[in-house]
Amino acid sequence: MNVITIERKILEKNDEVAIKNRELLSGKKILTINLVSSPGAGKTSLLEKTLEHLKDKIPISIIEGDVQTSIDAERVAKYNVPVVQIVTNGACHLEAKLVQDALGSLDLTKTKLLFIENVGNLVCPAAYDLGEDMKVVIASTTEGDDKPLKYPRMFLNAAVLIINKTDLLPYIDCNADTLKNNALKINPNLIIFETSATTGEGVEKWCRWLEEQISKKK
Amino acid sequence: MNVITIERKILEKNDEVAIKNRELLSGKKILTINLVSSPGAGKTSLLEKTLEHLKDKIPISIIEGDVQTSIDAERVAKYNVPVVQIVTNGACHLEAKLVQDALGSLDLTKTKLLFIENVGNLVCPAAYDLGEDMKVVIASTTEGDDKPLKYPRMFLNAAVLIINKTDLLPYIDCNADTLKNNALKINPNLIIFETSATTGEGVEKWCRWLEEQISKKK
Q: What is the pLDDT of residue B5?
A: 67
Please give the Cα distance from A38 to A19 (Å, whole number): 26
pLDDT at B52 over 70: yes
B144 and A40 in contact by Cβ < 8 A?
A: yes
Tell me which of A5-14, A142-151, B84-93, B113-122 is least confident. Answer: A5-14
Across B8-33, average pLDDT: 94
Please give the Cα distance from A172 to A190 (Å, whole number): 24
Q: Name chain B contacts of A38, Cβ cutoff 8 Å.
A: 38-40, 120, 122, 143
Q: What is the pLDDT of residue A212?
A: 97
Half-sphere exposure in the Cβ direction for B193 (13 Å, CA): 23
Across B210-214, average pLDDT: 97
Nearest to A71 among B40, B120, B150 (CB): B150
Closest approach of A203 to chain B, Cα-based (Å): 18
Q: In the predicted model, what is the mean pLDDT of chain B?
A: 95
Q: Which residues of A63-78 are buried (b: 16+ CB within 10 A; e: fewer)?
A: bbbbbbbeebbebbee
First to last CA, chain B: 46
Contact B138, A143 (CB under 8 A): no
Mutate which: A14, A122, A153, vs B, most B CBs within 10 A: A122
A149 and B124 in contact by Cβ < 8 A?
A: no
B150 and A69 in contact by Cβ < 8 A?
A: yes
A10 and B3 in contact by Cβ < 8 A?
A: yes
Residue among A164, A207, A108, A21 nearest B40 (CA): A164
DSSP state of A95: -
Query: What pairs with residue A135 in β-bridges?
Result: A34
Query: What pairs with residue B32 in β-bridges?
Result: B114
Residue among A44, A124, A54, A45 nearest A85 (CA): A44
Contact A217, A29 (CB under 8 A): yes
Across B125-146, average pLDDT: 97
Nearest to B39 among A68, A72, A143 (CB): A143
DSSP state of B102: H
Mutate which: B67, B74, B89, B168, vs A, most A CBs within 10 A: B67
- C-alpha A176: how far from its chain's center? 20
pLDDT bucket at B8, cuts 50 / 70 / 90: confident
pLDDT at B203 over 60: yes
Residues A196, A197, A199, A205: is their CA dihedral positive or negative?
positive
Across B157-165, average pLDDT: 98
Q: Going residue by residue through chain A (218 aa), what tens digit of pLDDT does each one get?
A: 455 666 678 888 999 999 999 999 999 999 999 999 999 999 999 999 999 999 999 999 999 999 999 999 999 999 999 999 999 988 899 999 999 999 999 999 999 999 999 999 999 999 999 999 999 999 999 999 999 999 999 999 999 999 999 999 999 999 999 999 999 999 999 999 999 999 999 999 999 999 999 999 87
Q: What is the pLDDT of residue B1?
A: 43
Q: Name chain B contacts of A148, Cβ cutoff 8 Å.
A: none
Task: State percent of chain B over pLDDT 70.
Answer: 97
Please give the Cα distance from B178 to B36 (Å, whole number): 21
B149 and A69 in contact by Cβ < 8 A?
A: yes
Q: Name chain B contacts of A120, Cβ cutoff 8 Å.
A: 38, 122, 150-151
* C-beta pairs of B209-217 under 8 Å, 24+ apart in sequence: B210/B31, B210/B33, B210/B50, B210/B54, B210/B113, B211/B54, B211/B57, B211/B58, B213/B31, B213/B133, B214/B31, B214/B58, B214/B112, B214/B113, B217/B29, B217/B30, B217/B31, B217/B112
Give the ipTM of the model, two decimals please: 0.88
Across B21-48, average pLDDT: 97
Q: What is the pLDDT of residue A5?
A: 67
Element (H, E) at A64: strand A60-66
Nearest to A39 among B6, B147, B173 (CB): B147
β-pairing verdict for B134-140 and B60-66:
unpaired
Q: What is the pLDDT of residue A1?
A: 43
- C-alpha A77: how far from its chain's center? 17
Q: What is the pLDDT of residue B90?
A: 86
Nearest chain A residue to B8, by CA: A3
pLDDT at B3 over 70: no
